[in-house]
Structure 1
Amino acid sequence: MEAEAAGAAAGTYPVDVLEDDPEGQQAAALAYYARLRQGAQPTTEAFSLPTGEQVKLAASSVRFCPLHRDEPQHRLLVLLNPQDTKTVVAVYIKGSWWSTEDVLRTSDPAREGLVKVQSFGERIVLFILNVIIFGRLERKLDDDDMFFLPHSAKEQAKILWRDGAAVGFYTTKMKGSLCGDGTGACYLLPVFDTVFVRRRHRRQGLGVAMLQDFCETFGEEEALGISWPVSPAMYQVCRKFLCARPEERGRLWEVEPPGAWGQRGSIWLKVQLRQPRLLNSRPGLAKEDVSSHGRNSRDEGAAEPPDGESSKELISGDEPGRTKDDGARGVQEVRGAELDGQDAERTAVAVGLAGGSWPKRVRPSS
């Protein structure tokens, strides 16, 4: 028996029909998992991968993943690839298994371009893009066992929709919001925090378009930040944007939290200082027309969220059926950035997909 998401065949997807009821979703997933453990589900039930391979639906092949790092009680039931037990292939939503690609799709024509994340379904899409697609499938990892932390439950984010699919996102730290757990310091300016574009949609100006949207969203602010450290790919995005929009050169700063003047560096100045290295590393770059609108830029790479190099934590897998107290074992405290002469502590809840523990870099400013 093959398990499929009937809605996908009918042209509807979770983000279009899922109610804003995380507790109901959690209860349904727990009930389904209980049936798996008790053997109440058909033993021949399987999920079909795009490769044609069948993944047997059994208690041993699923895990619960925290949807938000600050609300571990809200979890998604996911199906793992039997050949790579750290890779998610499907998510249990509304009584059906949905492939990760179908979870990222929409049948609503109004979802086009950058759309603010508001609904529970959109939070799930953000999680899939951030933790599963970026965190595992489309990221160059020095350590093959590293994952990216889920966002917080109230993370300010926009998803980039294109031709019926979510292809990227960016998140923002709002002016006045707390810099992190365990600190009373607040951001002194809006900050462009993380940004991601799926691999097959890169080099099409989408990173530049998201940076432009961020600047236009906060058009009344005198200063805007980009989270430190800025990656080489993000510097290229900034260069293209600031060459096309010179009026923004005085507003963009690379910032460490909370963003006081002593914690800011001019993005435009740093772009200028890095220019010789960019030209030497990419010989054709000097001839590129960078004065055009960001959406027409041909050489833009994905601006991936940079990771802090010093802070590390262990990520513990959360197997279904554990009690709430058991899940607390996966929480590790990590040292944060130094704010106002004091070290800020950050507690991050993250997910492992194979029931083990792995090292994970985290940005100290989040």
Structure 2
Amino acid sequence: MKFPVDLLADVSHTELERLAHNYMNNLLYSNPDAPEHLTLPDSTQVTINICSVGFIPLYGSSDKQKVLALFSPTEPLTAVALYLLDQWWPVDDILKTADPARDGAVEVETVGERIVLYILNRVVYRAREMSSEELPFLCHGEKDHAKILWSNGEAVGFYSVKPSGSFSNSFATRSYQLPVMDSIFVRRCQRGKGFGLQMLEDFVLSFKEDCLGLRYPLTKPMYKVCEKYLRQFPGDTDLLWEVESVGGPNQRTNMASKIQAMDHSVSRSLSFTEESLVITEMTEKDVVITTQIQDAESMECTVEIVVHYYYYFFKVEKYEFEKQRIV
């Protein structure tokens, strides 16, 4: 079975939109007492009528190219299916491919790939998986440089790039001073499998410049990805930079230096029992380790214990304790 990304390889957006308008015209004159229904992969049935469908812009604020979407009563602002080539496709099927050659990071070029990128960004990330602490990505434009990461017949993530010399969305008269990874996303169900590192490596291999940028602010998981990359390629300490705006000389922070500076301390807590001094240590994986020191004599001291790990943002504290005698 082929999926939209396979079927739309040689189809123009004009043809796609023409078919959608024809469908809408027929839907206007259909029998309202006998509507169609679409069954989603989770067995939910969605009624298809003039009130549940509408055109959505594929490239954000630009309404030049649109696709016809179906909305359910429980998700009135989020598409659950798209009308493509005379057929309704649930969004989960739009993220699949039957082409075994479509594997790894594949550049977005066709209309079908642009639609997959839209679903990953606007539906999967923004509507389903974005946390309250994260900022939404802007819609990808028709000319944006992006790659979709495919694995085992599914789109598992994407990243987009602003090449050096391209103009900034915020500053139309200013261009990027270096290639910048503008966005990167891995689906929640696919995390922990090294896909973020795979896309970062692909980004590095795609450009010849001596400096490459990563859009500020990075998420904590992305800092971890960068740390893994720099451990794997220690010779690239001057290659990756966290950048703001267009990445001018004063808008860059070296990633290797920043990661080292983020080597914060994990503190250990100390407490007393009647028989022993108990040291409780929180490890990198949040596993509690308890150590007992037996036969302790009376003591009066100040102890500062510092354990270093990357990305753990705990405050270093001094523990002062005083005990006349431990029995």
TM bucket (normalised to shorter chain) is 0.7 to 0.9
Q: Structure 2 counterpart of 1:216, which letter?
A: L
2:80 matched to 1:89?
Answer: yes
Aligned residue number for residue 115 of structure 2: 124
2:281 matched to 1:284?
Answer: no
2:38 matched to 1:59?
Answer: no
Deviation at 1:279, TM superposition (A): 9.8
Distance 2:37 2:136 in 1: 27
Q: Structure 1 counterpart of 2:283, which letter?
A: P
Note the 1:44-193 alignment, pairs <5 A. Answer: 44-69=35-60, 71-141=62-132, 148-180=137-169, 183-193=172-182
Distance 1:41 1:182 in 2: 49
User: In the alignment, is the contact (CA less than 8 A) between 1:35 and 1:41 conserved in 2?
Assistant: no
2:20 aligns to what SS in structure 1?
helix
1:90 aligns to what SS in structure 2?
strand
Q: Structure 2 counterpart of 1:283, which letter?
A: T
Distance 1:46 1:34 in 2: 18
Aligned residue number for residue 252 of structure 2: 264
Distance 1:275 1:285 in 2: 16
Of stretches 35-44 and 19-28 in structure 1, the one that deviates more from structure 2 is: 35-44
Are residues 51 and 278 of structure 1, via their aligned partners in 2, closer, same or farther at CA, if it must alter by over 3 Å?
A: farther
2:196 matched to 1:204?
Answer: no
Aligned residue number for residue 224 of structure 2: 236
Distance 2:61 2:40 in 1: 32
Distance 1:179 1:73 in 2: 21
2:142 aligns to what SS in structure 1?
coil
User: In the alignment, is the contact (CA less than 8 A) between 1:69 and 1:153 conserved in 2?
Assistant: no
Distance 2:283 2:54 in 1: 46
Are residues 142 and 261 of structure 1, via their aligned partners in 2, closer, same or farther at CA, if it must alter by over 3 Å?
A: closer
Aligned residue number for residue 350 of structure 1: none
Are residues 147 and 91 of structure 1, via their aligned partners in 2, closer, same or farther at CA, if it must alter by over 3 Å?
A: farther
Aligned residue number for residue 216 of structure 1: 205
Are residues 224 and 142 of structure 1, via their aligned partners in 2, closer, same or farther at CA, if it must alter by over 3 Å?
A: closer
User: In the alignment, is the contact (CA less than 8 A) between 1:71 and 1:153 conserved in 2?
Assistant: no
Distance 2:53 2:61 in 1: 22
| Bigger RCO (CA 8 Å, 6+ sep) | 1
Are residues 271 and 151 of structure 1, via their aligned partners in 2, closer, same or farther at CA, if it must alter by over 3 Å?
A: same
% identical aligned pairs? 37
2:18 matched to 1:16?
Answer: no
Deviation at 1:86, TM superposition (A): 2.5
Are residues 182 and 30 of structure 1, via their aligned partners in 2, closer, same or farther at CA, if it must alter by over 3 Å?
A: farther
Distance 2:112 2:267 in 1: 42
Q: Structure 2 counterpart of 1:165, which letter?
A: E
Are residues 136 and 283 of structure 1, via their aligned partners in 2, closer, same or farther at CA, if it must alter by over 3 Å?
A: farther
* Deviation per residue, 1:284-339 (Å, 9 max, x gap): 3599xxxxxxxxxxxxxxxxxxxxxxxxxxxxxxxxxxxxxxxxxxxxxxxxxxxx
* Deviation per residue, 1:256-287 (Å, 9 max, x gap): 1221110111111111122326999x933599
Are residues 279 and 228 of structure 1, via their aligned partners in 2, closer, same or farther at CA, if it must alter by over 3 Å?
A: farther
2:14 aligns to what SS in structure 1?
helix
Are residues 172 and 25 of structure 1, via their aligned partners in 2, closer, same or farther at CA, if it must alter by over 3 Å?
A: same
Deviation at 1:232, TM superposition (A): 1.5
Q: What residue ranges of structure 1 are gaps of 5+ in the alignment?
A: 1-10, 288-366
Distance 2:106 2:91 in 1: 20
Are residues 279 and 118 of structure 1, via their aligned partners in 2, closer, same or farther at CA, if it must alter by over 3 Å?
A: farther
**What is the alpha-carbon root mean square deviation over aligned residues?**
2.4
Aligned residue number for residue 321 of structure 1: none
Distance 1:148 1:272 in 2: 28
Q: What residue ranges of structure 2 are gaps of 5+ in the alignment?
A: 269-281, 288-327
Deviation at 1:38, TM superposition (A): 2.8
Deviation at 1:88, TM superposition (A): 2.0
Instruction: Name the TM-score, length of structure 1 as normaliser.
Output: 0.70
Q: Structure 2 counterpart of 1:237, which letter?
A: V
Aligned length: 273
Are residues 51 and 39 of structure 1, via their aligned partners in 2, closer, same or farther at CA, if it must alter by over 3 Å?
A: same
Which is greater in Rg? Answer: 2
Are residues 174 and 286 of structure 1, via their aligned partners in 2, closer, same or farther at CA, if it must alter by over 3 Å?
A: farther
Distance 2:23 2:265 in 1: 55
Are residues 228 and 69 of structure 1, via their aligned partners in 2, closer, same or farther at CA, if it must alter by over 3 Å?
A: same
Distance 1:57 1:136 in 2: 21
Q: Structure 2 counterpart of 1:231, which letter?
A: T
Deviation at 1:42, TM superposition (A): 8.1
Q: Structure 2 counterpart of 1:154, which letter?
A: K
Instruction: Name the TM-score, length of structure 2 as normaliser.
Output: 0.78
Distance 1:140 1:154 in 2: 28
